[in-house]
């Protein structure tokens, strides 16, 4: 096996499992009777689950939280008409909702207890407000919580009638009890006049407490009409424009066309990225369209990078305003627009591996996750949040002929729909109020520390007016991804639904630097065509702590069984591999030539004795023999091994080719599996050799068949050298091959 690449094929492949002859529980095949070593515990547990009738329905991610309000929702009519514009969660679990009332109270913020009831210790019986003018108009569009618990709202202030400014940037800061903070601005409030009319759309807090705001300003040209600009303003903690940012505290994004703001994020280096859209209606063939755009400013307000869809593509690439954005631990930024999501690098480059679609033209290639709530509906996405395990939760209004609805989606790290959430990753709520005239509208969302999802907006009344609406959905426990930078993840992984296919993983801790390891994966599967034969690939790449491993998929062809020539791996795709625990994970793949993609849930074949959530730890000396081994004389084929003293089993997958002349190209690939008993400290391990045939790539049917075809003995001389002796049934003698370990010796290997 080539020490850096290995074996591959450009076709999709997605099962992961070792051969199991029979996984059913029936009168003809009792639980635990399969001949291979996988499974007695797994099948026993499965049989118990199937034979025990459920006593009640178990709530699942995406379901309404019955402990919140009435049936998971809170509807508040605080005026003739009202609605929520922003939502946030305090550290104590209480919920802040900012919105507007028809009576013209300016900014309104209310606080709910964790169960959805009004917290009457806040403001006046749970409600506080900030008026900016005698007419009291205006609306808060964004909210942020300071580290000291103070609440910052940003939006627009409608001024007195018949003045030049129709609206202004407006900020208000409240104390934790709902009173206005007198140390901020003037009496807790401030306004900034920008052009003829302006409004803050999004705010974020820097690590030093300064407030950055993205907004839209409309000028009034002398020739009539108006032109919009995306602006970024920075304010001090005391509520004054920060003149160290752009000279006056405000900078304008230099887009080629009129632009509007949508969201804002602050990077770890203090640089600010504002996301919005340009108005392609100004283009001759633009129509009534907005195209997502982004701009990055340095800490002093100078321009560093710009993503201008008109300049790049001559049109838009992600339709609509980028109303939601969040930064991943690796610095990449997930952005949502009207019906899609994209992922950008910290420098505003495109992540082509994200989403179901890879779009190469016109202009730079980019990945796009297209989202839908079903036939007859269209999404209007307004926000997103990132779970600690990397999954992406998105809130949206689902526009439908029968009335608009609250909608929620969840994506895997790679942008594919998360099938464990709702129905195929989608939740569509019924009308929040019976007899609703216009339906409901989502404006914002927040993720609670316990993983539950809050969605806020407007609920339409039968009269046509609206009320504040908050719905809480169940989510996942707030578990972090398992640290990829540890040898403890080394081993055999498979998907039970596609028995007979699998993955062999090896991690080299700290190979690329502190907390950044390297990962080598061997993937054994089948052709996409039923009866098309075996296929295998190798995957390799960095395995950083706290985030999925980004891997390149390689294919090796043209070799001969246990003989030269040495083959070269060709890159044929990309994959992301992450682990939710030491026993479960998922691999997302995309093949570059076919654009075929998918996500495979993985289960560990044998529980490891050394895997932890935190770091690279010393490895059991027996288990440390696990990993990738190859014969340097026939590089391009090899053996991956798992030695597990905990379960007293050994397993290997052997990747090779048919004999010369038997086949060519990818059709010439072969793989075998071997398994046997293991005693701690054993260094010469006899195993049965198996051949598995008849499966199809990433498909549960047809079920493959496994046949014993010979025997083998794997003998370790030390941590870097081994021999592999094999004999196929009917052959008079065995053949012995000398093996070398690929990569460095893992922690704990002491031979």
Round to whole Å and give the CA distance between 627 and 161: 75
Quick one: what percent of the chain has pLDDT higher than 90?
53
How many angstroms separate the most distant Cα atoms in the chain? Answer: 102
Could you give phi then psi for residue 566, rounded to 5 degrees? -70, 135
Over residues 558-565, the mean pLDDT reads 87
Residue that has been written with the tokens 């008993």 in this structure: 677
What value does the mean pLDDT take over residues 342-368? 81
Q: What does the pLDDT look like over 600-631, one tens digit per residue?
A: 989 998 877 788 877 777 788 899 999 999 99
CB of 519 closer than 8 Å to CB of 542: yes
User: What is the rounded CA–CA span in Å between residue 390 and residue 547?
Assistant: 7
Q: Confirm whether 732 is domain-assigned.
A: yes
φ/ψ of residue 625, rounded to 5: -70, -15
Provide the pLDDT confidence category of residue 52 given band limits of 50, 70 and 90.
very low
Q: Given CA atoms 567, 571, 574, 576 in this order, what sign does their dihedral have?
A: positive
At residue 222, the pLDDT reads 55
Greater pLDDT, 535 or 359: 535
Find the mean pLDDT for residues 571-579.
90
Whether residue 16 is predicted with pLDDT greater than 70 in this model: the reply is no
Q: Beta-strand (E) ranges in 486-637?
A: 491-494, 502-513, 516-526, 534-544, 549-555, 570-579, 584-591, 597-604, 627-630
Nearest CA-CA partner of 665 in 559, 749, 510:
559
Residue 224 lies in a domain: no
Query: Is the pLDDT assigned to residue 25 strictly greater than 50?
Result: no
Q: What's phi and psi for 239, nearest 5 deg? A: 90, 35
For residue range 672-718, list pLDDT tens digits in order. 999 999 999 999 999 999 999 999 998 888 889 999 999 999 999 99
Count of residues in the chain:
751
Q: What is the pLDDT of residues 279-306, one digit of tens each?
A: 865 544 444 578 899 999 999 999 999 9
Residue 218: inside a domain: no
Task: State pLDDT tens for residues 169-186.
Answer: 999 999 999 999 999 999
Percent of residues, the chain, with pLDDT higher than 70: 86
Q: How far is CA 385 from CA 395, 648, 707, in A?
A: 9, 43, 48
3-class state of residue 455 by DSSP: strand
C-alpha span between 30 and 351 (Å, rounded) = 49
- Range from 13-17, 57-61, 109-113, 350-354 that averages highest in pLDDT: 109-113
Angle (CA) 439 453 82, round 5°: 40
Within a domain: 336:
no
Q: Which residue has the tokens 């905990």?
A: 646
Find the mean pLDDT for residues 552-565.
89
Residue 433's closest CA among 139, 76, 100, 155?
A: 76
* Residue 636: per-residue pLDDT: 87
* CB of 333 closer than 8 Å to CB of 327: yes
Q: What is the residue whose two structure tokens read 């199809």?
A: 696
Contacts of 248 by beta carbon, 8 Å cutoff, 6+ apart: 241
How far is the C-alpha of 165 from the C-alpha of 515, rounded, in Å? 53
Task: Give the C-alpha separation, 183 to 175, whole Å.
Answer: 10
In a domain, 603, yes or no: yes
* Contacts of residue 436, Cβ cutoff 8 Å, sequence gap at least 6: 403, 459, 460, 461, 462
Average pLDDT over residues 318-331: 88
> Where is pLDDT greater, at 90 or 80?
90
| pLDDT exceeds 60 at position 593 | yes
Domain that holds residue 713: 40-52+481-741
pTM for the full predicted model = 0.79
Mean pLDDT (the chain, rounded): 84
Looking at 249-295, list the stretches that DSSP marks H as alpha helix, in order from N- to C-terminal side: none
313: part of which helix (H) or strand (E)?
helix 309-313
453-to-62, 87, 675, 705 alpha-carbon distances in Å: 8, 11, 45, 44
Q: Which two tokens stand for residue 566?
A: 């040495």
C-alpha–C-alpha distance, residues 180 and 170, integer Å: 14
Determine the pLDDT at residue 667.
Answer: 60
C-alpha angle 435-441-445 in degrees, rounded to nearest 5:
130
pLDDT of residue 239: 96
pLDDT band at 105 (very low <50, low <70, confident <90, very high): confident
Residue 49 backbone phi and psi in degrees, to 5: -65, -40
Check whether 138 has a pLDDT greater than 80: no
pLDDT at 40 over 50: no
In a domain, 536, yes or no: yes
Residue 26 pLDDT exceeds 90: no
Residue 35 banded pLDDT, cuts 50, 70, 90: very low
Cβ atoms within 10 A of the Cβ of 202, count?
A: 27
pLDDT of residue 282: 53
pLDDT value at residue 505: 95
Taken in order 656, 658, 660, 666, the sign of the CA dihedral is negative
Cα 487 to Cα 44, 146, 483, 743, distances in angstroms: 29, 40, 10, 12
**How far is the CA of 706 from the CAs of 35, 166, 499, 674, in angstroms?**
11, 75, 10, 11
pLDDT for 163 beyond 60:
no
Residue owning tokens 């989510």: 475
Average pLDDT over residues 398-406: 88
Quote the number of domains for the chain: 1
- Establish if 413 belongs to a structural domain: no
Give the range with max mean pLDDT: 257-271, 348-362, 368-382, 504-518: 257-271
Q: Does residue 2 surpass a pLDDT of 60?
A: no
- pLDDT value of residue 126: 96
The lowest-confidence range among 115-129, 308-322, 452-466, 584-598 is 308-322
pLDDT tens-digit readout, 481-503 = 888 899 999 999 999 888 789 99
How, if at all, do strands 570-579 and 584-591 pair?
antiparallel
Give the pLDDT band (50/70/90) at residue 51.
Answer: very low
How confident is residue 7, by pLDDT bands cut at 50, 70 and 90?
Answer: very low
Which DSSP helix (H) or strand (E) runs through 40? helix 40-51
Residue scoring higher pLDDT (160 or 687): 687
Strand pairing class (324-327; 333-336) = antiparallel
Mean pLDDT of 712-741: 95
Identify which has the larger pLDDT, 179 or 645: 179
Q: Which two tokens stand for residue 327?
A: 């930064």
């Amino acid at each position: 096996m080539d020490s850096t690449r290995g074996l591959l094929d450009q076709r999709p492949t997605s099962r992961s499992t070792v051969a199991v002859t029979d996984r059913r529980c029936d009168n003809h095949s009792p639980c635990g009777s399969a001949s291979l070593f996988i499974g007695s515990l797994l099948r026993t547990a499965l049989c118990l689950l199937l034979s025990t009738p459920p006593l009640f329905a178990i709530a699942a991610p995406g379901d309404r939280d019955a402990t919140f309000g009435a049936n998971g929702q809170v509807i508040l009519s605080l005026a003739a008409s009202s609605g929520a514009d922003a939502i946030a969660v305090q550290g104590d679990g209480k919920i802040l909702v900012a919105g507007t009332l028809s009576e013209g109270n300016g900014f309104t913020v209310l606080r709910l207890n964790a169960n959805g009831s009004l917290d009457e210790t806040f403001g006046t019986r749970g409600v506080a407000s900030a008026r900016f003018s005698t007419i009291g108009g205006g609306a808060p569009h964004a909210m942020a919580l300071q580290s000291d618990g103070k609440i910052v709202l940003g939006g627009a202030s409608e001024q007195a009638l018949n003045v030049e400014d129709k609206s202004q940037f407006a900020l208000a800061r409240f104390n934790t009890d709902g009173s206005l903070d007198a140390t901020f601005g003037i009496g807790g409030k401030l306004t900034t006049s920008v052009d003829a009319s302006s409004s803050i759309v999004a705010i974020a807090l820097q690590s030093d407490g300064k407030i950055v705001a993205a907004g839209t300003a409309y000028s009034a040209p002398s020739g009539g009409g108006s032109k919009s600009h995306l602006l970024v303003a920075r304010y001090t903690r005391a509520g004054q424009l920060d003149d160290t940012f752009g000279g006056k505290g405000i900078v304008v994004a230099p887009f080629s066309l009129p632009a509007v703001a949508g969201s804002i994020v602050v990077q770890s280096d203090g640089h600010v990225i504002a996301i919005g859209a340009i108005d392609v209606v100004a283009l001759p063939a633009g129509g009534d369209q907005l195209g997502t755009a982004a701009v990055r400013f340095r800490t002093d307000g100078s321009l560093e990078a710009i993503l201008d869809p008109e300049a790049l593509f001559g049109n838009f690439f992600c339709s609509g305003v980028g109303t939601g954005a969040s930064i991943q631990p690796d610095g990449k930024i997930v952005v949502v627009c009207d019906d899609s999501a994209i992922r950008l690098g910290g420098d505003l480059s495109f992540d082509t591996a994200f989403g179901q679609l890879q779009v190469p033209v016109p202009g730079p290639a980019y990945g796009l996750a297209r989202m839908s709530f079903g036939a007859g509906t269209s999404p209007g996405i307004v926000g997103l949040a990132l779970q600690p395990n990397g999954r992406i939760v998105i809130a949206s209004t689902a526009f439908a002929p029968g009335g608009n609805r609250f909608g929620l989606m969840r994506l895997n790290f790679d942008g594919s729909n998360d099938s464990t959430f709702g129905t195929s990753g989608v939740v569509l709520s019924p009308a929040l109020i019976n007899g609703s005239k216009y339906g409901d509208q989502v404006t914002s969302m927040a993720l609670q520390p316990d993983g539950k999802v809050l969605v806020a907006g407007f609920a339409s009344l039968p009269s046509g007016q609206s009320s504040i609406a908050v719905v809480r959905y169940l989510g996942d426990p707030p578990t972090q991804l398992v640290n990829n930078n540890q040898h403890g993840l080394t081993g055999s992984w498979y998907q039970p639904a596609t028995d007979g296919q699998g993955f062999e993983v090896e991690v080299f801790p700290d190979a690329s630097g502190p907390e950044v390891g390297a990962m080598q994966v061997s993937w054994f599967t089948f052709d996409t065509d039923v009866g098309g034969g075996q296929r295998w690939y190798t995957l390799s790449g960095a395995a950083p702590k706290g985030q999925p491993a980004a891997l390149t998929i390689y294919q090796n062809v043209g070799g001969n069984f246990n003989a030269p020539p040495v083959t070269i791996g060709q890159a044929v795709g990309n994959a992301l591999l992450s682990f939710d625990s030491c026993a479960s994970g998922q691999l997302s793949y995309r093949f570059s030539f076919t654009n075929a993609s998918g996500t495979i849930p993985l289960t560990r074949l044998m529980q490891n004795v050394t895997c932890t959530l935190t770091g690279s730890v010393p490895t059991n000396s027996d288990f440390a023999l696990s990993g990738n081994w190859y014969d340097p004389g026939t590089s391009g084929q090899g053996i991956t091994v798992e030695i597990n003293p905990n379960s007293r089993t050994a397993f290997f997958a052997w990747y090779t080719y048919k004999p010369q002349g038997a086949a060519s190209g990818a059709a010439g690939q072969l793989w075998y599996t071997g398994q046997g008993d293991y005693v701690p400290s054993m260094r010469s391990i006899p195993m049965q050799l198996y051949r598995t045939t008849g499966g199809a790539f990433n498909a549960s049917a047809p079920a493959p068949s496994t046949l014993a075809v010979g025997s083998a003995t794997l003998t370790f001389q030390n941590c870097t050298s081994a021999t592999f002796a094999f004999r196929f049934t009917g052959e008079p003698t065995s053949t012995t091959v000398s093996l070398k370990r690929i990569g460095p010796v893992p922690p704990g290997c002491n031979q």
